Amino acid sequence: MHSLRVFVQTAAMAGVAFSLPSGTSTAKRATCTVNSVDTASDLSDCSAVVIEAFTVSSGNTVTISAASGATITMSGDVTFSKTSSDGPLFTIDTDDVTFNGNGYTVDGQGAEYWDGEGTNGGVDKPHPFIKIKGSGTFSDFTVLNSPAQAVSVGTDGTTTIKGVTIDNSDGDVDELGHNTDGFDVSAEDVTITGCTVKNQDDCIAINDGGSITFSNNTCSGGHGISIGSISSDKSVSDVTITGNTVTNSMYGTRIKVKAAATDASVSGITYSGNTISGISKYGVLISQSYPDDVGTVGTGGPISDVNFTGDTTKVTVDSGAVNVAVNCGACSGTWDWSALEASGGDEGDIDSDDATISGGTY
């Protein structure tokens, strides 16, 4: 060790360049500022990042990838110009991050794209608008006017998303907003809580993963709370949906498995204490015939253990809507629906295959 110290001192005095022994770490930068696409390009050694207000020019995307355990704080709005770039336009990819939006906005300027066709045609729309990767806590920011799907969650560790607002309500004008899902989740160990979603499609769509909690959120204007649509080779399990409010939407809650799905499954879904009203199509729908609501069922995506327990989930649908419908070709288990109260509209068919549904008012 003495000889190494002498060598370092002598080399430094002589102006000689040398490399430290392998395993010697370099210090992280304390705070990095992002105020352009260029300043976001290399944050890998930043333990703290401050995102100032800036506009992203057409053709560019932004990825915030800081050191593991970093704190990322917004101090201004980020606005994306209309672009032909593919989504995601804004990616947060840091492990064990604390991301605090401080109430600021990430603006996708969706009205520049909306044409009533969403991702089914018309103008190309980058989607998703925002991708959340890595892991950690993401809080207190607004996603405004996403071109199509708003936030995709594909994290790889324990993650909490809280106090986030997704506001695509401007897309209600002339029904131009379409496929504006709030949260699309394909991940494990995720909690989304205290968020607000105003849109024209699913408030949340859980497409793959497990150990997911969706709690105390407010959804309006869209298609309600969804498990799926479930595609081949996708499975969703251990999901708790509790304390949410859904208003003025096409659906209240749905489980939708594609009729053509194979090697797929849905299991362990629990609803508790949700309040659902102003529903124009189905209050509660469980179906294995997607894209049909009720049609020819598939059997390659079995559903088991769907329960309404704990605090009462109250569902009120509009005249002409269906309060509860089940359309199963491969469902099983004993489902406890004792804490479900659904009223209004029409009674739907309950075809639960081998599942036994007990309790509930509908």
Positions marked active-site: 201, 223
What is the spatial distance between Cα 269 and Cα 331, in angstroms, rounded to a whole number? 13
For residue 288, what are its two tokens? 């294995």
According to DSSP H, which parts of 173-259 are helical? none
Neighbours of 2 (CB within 10 A): 6
What is the spatial distance between Cα 218 and Cα 196, in angstroms, rounded to a whole number? 5
What is the spatial distance between Cα 31 and Cα 185, in angstroms, rounded to a whole number? 31
What is the spatial distance between Cα 113 and Cα 360, in angstroms, rounded to a whole number? 44
Distance of CA 60 to the CA centre of its chain: 23
Phi, psi of 348 (to 5 degrees): -95, 170
Neighbours of 323 (CB within 10 A): 24
Give bridge partners of residue 151 from the DSSP assignment. 130, 183
Which positions ≥6 away from 257 have C-beta within 8 Å?
228, 229, 230, 264, 266, 287, 288, 290, 298, 301, 303
How many Cα atoms occupy the beta-carbon half-sphere of 38 within 13 Å?
0
How many Cα atoms occupy the beta-carbon half-sphere of 330 within 13 Å?
21
Q: Is 5 helix (H, G, I), strand (E, B) or coil?
A: helix
